[in-house]
Copies of this chain bind each other. A is one copy, B any other.
Amino acid sequence: MAAVDLTTHPGHLARRLQQAHHLLWNTMVSEEITSPQFAVLNALVAEPGLDQRTVGERVGLDRSTIAEVISRLGRRELVDKVRDPQDGRRFLLRVTDDGARVHRKLTVRTARMNQVFLAPLTPAEQAVFFDLIRRVADGAEGLRNPAEPTAAQG
């Protein structure tokens, strides 16, 4: 019996964490708008007029996925999509009035949900929680593009 203890596998924990989040989101925030959809709305509220690729970069979705999410938000008329007259490849995106309303409503609910979600941790632990996850995620992300020389020390 060479089986492994999955509770020490970060991938397994990450999946379980997301499932737990999905559960709470569905019951406390919305059954219609998903968490990635909210993230997109949020990015477009912060920076109206972004194109799809950049929105994807902001919220961490690849081109294919962002296209689907945008299409659903467009179907619900929460987001507008206009060809960029300066660059015919791009679509310029912005939230509609409905989209802004939904974003405001969900912002409140999301804050409440996050409190419940993080309730098992003390405030200090919550800060550590964010920090550790962010460092692990950033670390793995960094392995994708080997050494971008962003004004690096030379």
Contact = CB atoms under 8 A, between A and B. Distances in A.
Contacts of A144: 23
Interface in A121-154: 121, 125, 128-130, 132-141, 143-144
A-B pairs with lowest CB-CB distance, top 4: A20-B140, A3-B46, A120-B139, A11-B21
Interface of A: 1-4, 6-21, 23-25, 35-36, 39, 42-43, 45-46, 59-60, 103-104, 107, 110, 114, 116-121, 125, 128-130, 132-141, 143-144
Contacts of A4: 42, 107, 110
Contacts of A10: 17, 21, 114, 117-118, 129-130
B42 A25 contact: no
Contacts of A24: 140, 143
Contacts of A136: 17, 20, 117-118, 120-121, 129
B130 A17 contact: no
Nearest to A59: B6
A40 to B, nearest CB: 11
Contacts of A36: 15
Contact of A117 (B46, B103, B140): B140
A18 B23 contact: no
Contacts of A9: 110, 114
A12 B22 CA distance: 11
